[in-house]
Structures are given as C-alpha cells and as structure tokens.
A and B are shown apart, each in its own frame.
Chain A
Amino acid sequence: MPLYGNDVAPRFDLATEVMITNRDDYSDGREEKIVVLSQASAEQLCHLILAEGIDVVICSGIEEEYYQFLTWKKVQVLDSVIGPWQMVLERFLKDRLKPGDILY
C-alpha cells in the first residue's frame, strides 16, 4: 500500500513510502514494514512489488498502464481506495475492501 502521511497515497507513481504486510497469520504476529523509496517512480514501485512477491496492491490513483501490467503479473490491484491506511488495512483484513471504497 503506497502511503502519503497517514493516508493511502493519492498517486501510485508519486508515492515515496510503501507499507508491506502479510495476512496469513494476522491474528498473532502480523508483520508490517514501511519501505521508504529513494525516489517516486511507478516503475520502481512495480519492480518492488514483483521482487517482494506481493499478491495484492491497495492504492488510489494509478495509471492504466501500470494497473494492466500488475494485473498481467497476477497481482490483484484494489485502486481508487481513499482513507487512512490503518482503517483501509483493517477493512481489507476483514475481506470487505473493494476498489473505489472511500473510508472517511
């Protein structure tokens, strides 16, 4: 999930912080890590997503080109999600998050 302060970043290509987590055993010891990128770049972010073996990307504004690329690489993209990232993550972990959700 690309971040902008406490919120999901409005733009995938301009995010410089990313939160990565796993949901397999979230009840006990779910690990959240925040990665700071050296520069904002959609290509770099896509590379990171593939390198880390990410299954789901939660973001807000993303260009069609990158959306299609990630989908083609079998990464599920939940885009146009707006809200504080903690709240968004909570909803996602409850399997209730859909693309276009606004949590404010």
Chain B
Amino acid sequence: MIDEIPLGVVILDTDRRIVLLNRSFEALTGFSRDEAAGIPCYHMLRSRICIKGCPALNIPEDSEPACVESDLINRDRMLVPVRINIASLHSPSGKLTGFLETLEDLRPLRELDAKISHAFSFANLIGRSPQMEKIFQILPVLAQSDSSMLITGETGTGKDMVAEAVHQASSRAKGSFVKVNCGALPETLLESELFGHQKGAFTGAVASKPGRFRLAHNGTLYLTEIGDLPLSLQVKLLTFFDDQVVYPLGGTKGFQANVRIIAATHRNLEQMVREGRFREDLLFRLNVVRIHLPPLREREGDSRLLIDYFLNDLTSRFRKNIKGFSKKALSILMNYLYPGNVRELKNIIEYAVNICQEGQIKPHHLPTYLAEARPWGKDTDTVKEHVSLSVQSDPNEQKLLETEHTWAAMERKMIMDALVKAGGRRSKTAELLGWGRSTLWRKVKQYGID
C-alpha cells in the first residue's frame, strides 16, 4: 500500500538508517529498496538539509512534524527541489522507535511558478504602476526570509492578499496559514483564541483548546487589524517574540511554536505609539520588514488595468457577454476616487456586470453614487485635496466644501455678483443676468438675499 502513495515515503530507525521506502522514493532518488536497506538516510537522500542539519536530530519531544524545503541530487545527477516532512515515531509507551519522512517533488510546482509569474503580478495582485512594480520585485525576496512582517495600507488595498501570497511563496507554504482578526473578538476571548487554554482554566473551558499559535506551527500566523489588539495582549505577544514559547491560559507548560508572524493594519501605528495606545517595543519587533500598499488613487494607470481585469474575470465567471464600457461609463470610473480602493472597484464592476443586460456597460449600469461623486474630475491636485480633506477634516467643513460646487450655490453667487455690479438696483441686475424682474425677485427670495 505504501507504494501507492504519490509522495516519496521512507521509514528510518532510531539511528536514521533506512528500514522501508516506497516506489516514489525509488523513482525520486534512483536508489532501489534493496540497495538502500540499512544505509544511513543521508547517503540515499543526498539532500542539502542532511548536511546543514538533519531535522530528525532537532525534533523535540511531543513536537509536531518538521517541514522544510530543500533539494537533493539523484542518481541521474539531477538537482531536484523537494519538500521534506519528517516526524518522529513513538511506541505506545512513548519511546522513540524511528522516523517517518516524506518527500515531495517540487519540480512541477516550480515550473508552474515560472509560467504564471510575470512582471506585473505577484500571486493575485495586479498592477503596472511603478509603486506596485517595486512591491512585486521585493515581495518574493521577503517571502523567502523568515522575519516578521508588517503590512500597512488603507482598507481594500490588498493587505490580506499580500500576507497570504507571502506565505504561499515562502518555505512555510506547506504549513498552515492562520488568520486572526485582532479587532473582531473581545479581549478575554481573543487571548484564549490566540494562545489556547487548558481544560478548566476558566468557567466553560470544558476541553483544552490549542490556540491559533499552535495551529500555525510550522506555518504563518497572520494578525490582521493589529492596531486593535488590546494593550494586555500586546505584552503577551511581545513575550512570544522574545522566546517563541506560547503559554496557554491556565497552563504551566509552554509550547515552542515555530511561527512566522505577519501583521497588518490600516491604522497609523506610530501615531498610536505617541498616544500610548500601542507599545513601542512591539512596533519595533513587528516592523522588521514593512510593506506599505499604496491606495488605488496613487497607483498611476492601475485603475484602467484593474477595471479591464475585473470586467474580463467577472464576465467569464457570470457567463455574460459584455464587450466593454461606453466612453461615458469609463470616464465616470476613471474619475472616481475609490476611497475603498481595489475592493470597491471590484464591487462596482461586479454590480455593473450583474445589472447590465446589454453588450456594453453604460453609466446607468453603474451605482448611482458614482455619478454624484463626479465633479472631482481628473485633476490630481483636486483629488488629493479632496482625499486629504475627507480624511482629516470634520464633516461640517466637508459639507461646506461640497455645497460650493452645487448649481444653487453658483446661482446665488451669480446674483450677488450682478447685484454688486448694478449697485443694488434690481432692474439693472435682472438685465445683467438676462432675466425678467419677477424671476430675479423669486430667486432673491429663494436664496434669502436681502
């Protein structure tokens, strides 16, 4: 039966000599089971980790299996990238009896990677702007490192996607990717969720719970909305960074967790540190590698690319026959600011694709609030000004700014200007405006000009 397993499988004794292996292992290494029986594993496997430090030597008692990416040289003198999982085997009395090792050939995956990775994307992230290109170049490098990572950016910029993509591109890809939203749970629950608890640790703890740190062992723990993490848990997280040991609630025995931490937030952590709402030392530990995802309005040319990408993607997914956008619809989409960034853009296109029953998306297929938000136009300065205002100013100020751009406000201003020019004489003012006296009277009353 062991021969039917598509992974190379080998069973070793306590001296790491080969006891049993399967057909896939023979195919991968080129050594037959007769040749390999009783030979130290490193002579058959010929992997880099055999020389650099065999994981079997470092598996602590009660530990989870180790997973490492490495390479081997087979009998055909080929260097083969492999993923090696190694677990210790114990007798019912708990005595070490040997090791079980699995080998996965990564060549097909690497070939696929080479095919799908092109300059303007990383995993599911797409962009052509210089800001994104810089990020695409650096992400694969950062993925290979094991340092903790902090991802910042506005909502909808793709923080979750980056975190998952980094995990998938890292040597921990075979391990689990565990996501915890630090803002979603109350403090007490979050502590038990993150670090686990022992049976009887508190009322209702009827069974022991492993906690997300333990679940993410050999993988990546993604802490999203880290800015919302309560101060007491920040301290606990800090101690994990120092000694990599997790103590479950009510437990005395720690667990050595091999976890890479990726944290993300849309908040300004430096400012939170200044306000005393975030620990400075935790920020320093998280801030080893920092990626800032730019908002869509700062990504030159990416709006068009993403609009077309989502249209193609969604039309094929919803089986719609939509060729593209009308000029007017496209201009509305291009001039919109997207405060919700890529997520909002995707939702807008999804809405339009669902609503549209014709071959082309027209303005009336777009959500109505887009048309209302149009006056900002293409001028980047105006866009920036609006964004900074909408982010920083209070709502009343913003309202005032918006009213200046309505027709009523313009008309009122016109009447005032004409009245000033005519020295306050109504008949002259009406003449200047090209209106009848009664129209002017009505408008003056309407706008409360006296």
Contact = CB atoms under 8 A, between A and B. Distances in A.
Interface stretch (A6-14, A31-39, A48-56): A6-14
Given A10-B42, A14-B51, A80 B78 contact: no
Contact of B35 (A13, A63, A79, A102): A102
A7 B72 CA distance: 18
B33 to A, nearest CB: 13
Interface residues of A, number: 21
A67 B74 CA distance: 13
Contacts of B77: 61-64, 67, 79
Nearest to B52: A14
Contacts of B90: none
Q: Main SS of the interface on chain A? A: loop
Given A4-B51, A11-B46, A80 B39 contact: no
Contacts of B48: 11, 14
Contacts of A79: 77
A1 interface: no
Nearest to A66: B77
Size band of the interface chain B makes with A: 20 to 34
A82 interface: yes
Contacts of A64: 76-78
A98 to B, nearest CB: 14
Contacts of B75: 80, 100
A101 B39 CA distance: 13
Contacts of A7: 40, 43
B41 to A, nearest CB: 10
Contacts of B35: 102
A102 B30 CA distance: 13
Nearest to B75: A80
A44 to B, nearest CB: 16
A11 B39 contact: no
Contact of A61 (B39, B40, B46): B46
Residue of A4, A7, A10, A14 contacting most chain B CB atoms (<10 Å): A10
Nearest to B48: A14
Given A9-B51, A10-B43, A60-B46, 11 more contacts: A4-B51, A10-B50, A11-B73, A12-B73, A61-B73, A61-B74, A63-B73, A79-B77, A80-B75, A100-B75, A102-B35
Interface of A: 4, 7, 9-14, 40, 60-64, 67, 79-80, 82, 100, 102, 104
